[in-house]
Amino acid sequence: MFAMTIGIFLFSASLLLLEITFTRLSSVILSYHYVFLVLSTAMFGLGMGGLAAYYLADKPENGDKYLTASCALFAVFIPISIALMSWLPYIANIFFYAFLMFIPFFFAGILLAVIFRLYPEESSRLYAADIFGAAAGVAAAIFLLREFGGINSALFASVSASVALIFFSANSKSPHPPFSKGGMGGIRRFILPLLTTIIVLIIFVTNVFIPLAKEVPVGDDPIKDLNRLIADPEKGGGIIETRWSAFGRTDLARHAKETDVMTLFVDGTAGTPMYRFNGDIKNPDGIVKEIPKTFPGYFPFLFLKDSEKESALIIGSGGGRDVLIVLMAGIKDITAVEVNRELVDIVKGHSKYNGGIYTNYRNVNIVVDEGRSFLKRSNYKYNSIILTLPVTKSSRSIEGYSLTESFLLTEESIIDYLEHLNDDGQLIVLMHNKMMALRMVSLSLSAMKKIGIDNASAMRHVYLFGDKLPLFVLRKKAFTEDEIRLRIAEMQRLG
């Protein structure tokens, strides 16, 4: 049973690795809600495979045949599915991608059902191997996605499954063991596993060094922001760098006719700009020079006193626009938290282009972490906490965005932000649209009510600025009449 235990361990690892990899690949190809449908269909494949196994003959020798065949087909159909995803242009039919992911999971369902049917007396040991293998597959996904990308990670799952097939064959219940007298049939049963392993291993190694299946076609999906950038006749452009991780696929795209800005995308959406910057914060040039005049996120910094410029926390620093803003505002100590390590590494790697905003400023501390989690672990208090939400412009409507729960924007998170602000500190949030801005006002009123501030008084702590990308500002200390008039006058001046 040792060989069978190792086999189920390797197969379960490949299954979970494939599931995670398919999640990442489908996130690049499709919009978020279609990703859920595709993966649900893939899981449906496991169930249908188990149902199919129920109707198969339960003779031991037949069970070995089904076990071998299902494992081999699982390993072989992974590169077939990947090749079709990669080579074919974007197909606007969700069922096509669902079917590609359904097939390998269908054979996986047959295999798992057959194994537990053949060895019921060893179910506890096999189940333990199954669980540990699944855990190993999840851990492997984190490493493989970062080092080899989405396509090659899926191909590695095929390699793992084919190696599992060798161990399954070594533990066959066939009446002829591999090396028994006259047991050439036992030796022959290793031909298929070895041949399958050699084929998928060659495919994997070849694709690592000479990519035949390169990237899934995000650029052909008309819903994705990245596609709109590439297809725009005015802007044009293309991808100049791609990095994978368990977080997703991060692309850096150039603008053919706008050399002063490049855009970073995650899974083809959530674009965040990275500006060309000369590195001189006191005398910037180009588009950076115009940020205080054109970007609404700079508005609250027009009114800061020197005592309010000690520190700032940026949650979701992206391509570094908010870092530029607070540097230009004269903030002395800046902490920028970004959850996507690949995005941070890309910005650091293009320091000659962006002026080294993540590398050349001693007062800028870049932290790779989830923003609110970082804040809850910190005892530090800031003068400003800044969130510039990415405008993904995906298939979700304005109403969908407004109803979507966000871990960063809840009553509890607002209370967390207030607790980490100095007495004169302010929370600054750039919103997607008016509906989200109004929702933010409502959440803030509810949060402040929980800490003993009634709605009428709470309204003197907040204001909104802008139309297309509304800016929400919540100050811990109420605004005075003079401060309110000053901001209204500046809003009127800016139009």
pLDDT band at 399 (very low <50, low <70, confident <90, very high): very low
346: CB partners within 8 A, 6+ apart? 241, 243, 250, 252, 264
At 201 the pLDDT is: 94
At 177 the pLDDT is: 44
pLDDT tens digit string along 208-259? Answer: 888 776 677 665 566 778 887 887 767 678 889 999 998 889 999 998 888 8
426 φ, ψ to 5°? -140, 145
Q: Which domain holds residue 120?
A: 2-216
At 400 the pLDDT is: 43
pLDDT band at 182 (very low <50, low <70, confident <90, very high): very low
Q: What's 10's domain CATH number?
A: 1.20.1250.20
In angstroms, rounded to a whole number, what is the distance separating the alpha carbons of residues 327 and 357? 9
Pairing of strands 311-315, 382-388: parallel
Asked if 2 and 9 count as a contact pair (C-beta separation under 8 A), the reply is no
Q: What's 326's domain CATH number?
A: 3.40.50.150
298 lies in the same domain as 417: yes
206 lies in the same domain as 95: yes
Q: Where does a domain end: 174, 189, 216?
A: 216
At 132 the pLDDT is: 97
212 lies in the same domain as 275: no
In a domain, 429, yes or no: yes
In a domain, 405, yes or no: yes
Q: Which of 354, 427, 355, 424 is nearest to 386 (CA)?
A: 427
Q: What residues are paired with 474 via a beta bridge?
A: 427, 462
In angstroms, rounded to a whole number, what is the distance separating the alpha carbons of residues 73 and 114? 15
pLDDT band at 404 (very low <50, low <70, confident <90, very high): very low
3-state secondary structure string across 444-473: HHHHHHHCCCCHHHHHHHEEEECCCCCEEE
What is the percentage of the chain residues whose pLDDT exceeds 90?
61
Average pLDDT of every residue of the chain? 87
In a domain, 34, yes or no: yes
pLDDT tens digit string along 57-110? Answer: 666 667 778 888 999 999 999 999 999 888 887 777 888 888 999 999 999 999
397: CB partners within 8 A, 6+ apart? none
275 lies in the same domain as 349: yes
181 lies in the same domain as 319: no
At 449 the pLDDT is: 95
Q: What is the pTM of this model?
A: 0.85
In a domain, 111, yes or no: yes
Reduced to 3 states, what is the DSSP secondary structure of residue 474?
strand
Q: What residues are paired with 272 via a beta bridge?
A: 264
27 lies in the same domain as 95: yes
Asked if 457 and 478 count as a contact pair (C-beta separation under 8 A), the reply is yes
In a domain, 233, yes or no: no
CB atoms within 10 A of CB 492: 8
**Sign of torsion over alpha carbons 62, 65, 66, 67:** positive
- 348: buried, middle or exposed (CB in 10 Å: 19+, 13-18, 0-12)? middle
In a domain, 332, yes or no: yes
295 lies in the same domain as 205: no
Asked if 130 and 13 count as a contact pair (C-beta separation under 8 A), the reply is no
Asked if 162 and 104 count as a contact pair (C-beta separation under 8 A), the reply is no
In a domain, 246, yes or no: no
Q: Where does a domain end: 195, 216, 237?
A: 216
Q: Where does a domain end: 216, 233, 258?
A: 216
323 lies in the same domain as 180: no
305 lies in the same domain as 444: yes
202 lies in the same domain as 280: no
443 lies in the same domain as 326: yes
419: CB partners within 8 A, 6+ apart? none
304 lies in the same domain as 453: yes
pLDDT tens digit string along 336-358? Answer: 999 999 999 999 999 999 999 99
208: CB partners within 8 A, 6+ apart? 148, 152
Q: What is the average pLDDT across 412-420?
A: 95
Number of structural domains (the chain) is 2
In a domain, 89, yes or no: yes
